[in-house]
Amino acid sequence: MILVLSIFFYSLPVHSGKLNSSCTFKGKKLYGNVQIVTSFPDIKVQVVNSFPDLKVQKVSSFPDSCGKWKIVTSFPDVKVQLVDSFPDIKIQYVTSFPGVN
């Protein structure tokens, strides 16, 4: 029984339930126009200084690659709520080299 469980857990991907290589989380892309909301988010996000799941660069135009966010107040691609605990993903703001960590 222990052998079966250990094989199962070792076969799980490292980011099981977190981010995947296509820079999405539960079908929502993690780049583009992002709206910060206080309720009904697509994704709950915690801002950290180390060990993030995603490095985010705030941009004013062309948020067209993984981790590049243009903060908007309407017509978002994804809505995020900033939380202090129990996040879906953890992010770190950077000035260069955004993307999945």
Q: What is the pLDDT of residue 98?
A: 98
Q: What is the pLDDT of residue 16?
A: 44
Q: What is the mean pLDDT of residues 93-97?
A: 98
Q: What is the pLDDT of residue 6?
A: 46
- What global pTM score does this model have? 0.81
Distance of alpha carbon 97 from alpha carbon 75, whole angstroms? 26
| Contact between residue 46 and residue 91 where contact means Cβ atoms under 8 Å apart | yes
Each residue of 45-83: pLDDT tens digit?
A: 999 999 999 999 999 999 999 999 999 999 999 999 999
Q: What is the pLDDT of residue 8?
A: 44
Q: What is the pLDDT of residue 1?
A: 54
Residue 34 pLDDT class (50, 70, 90 cuts): very high
Q: What is the pLDDT of residue 77?
A: 97
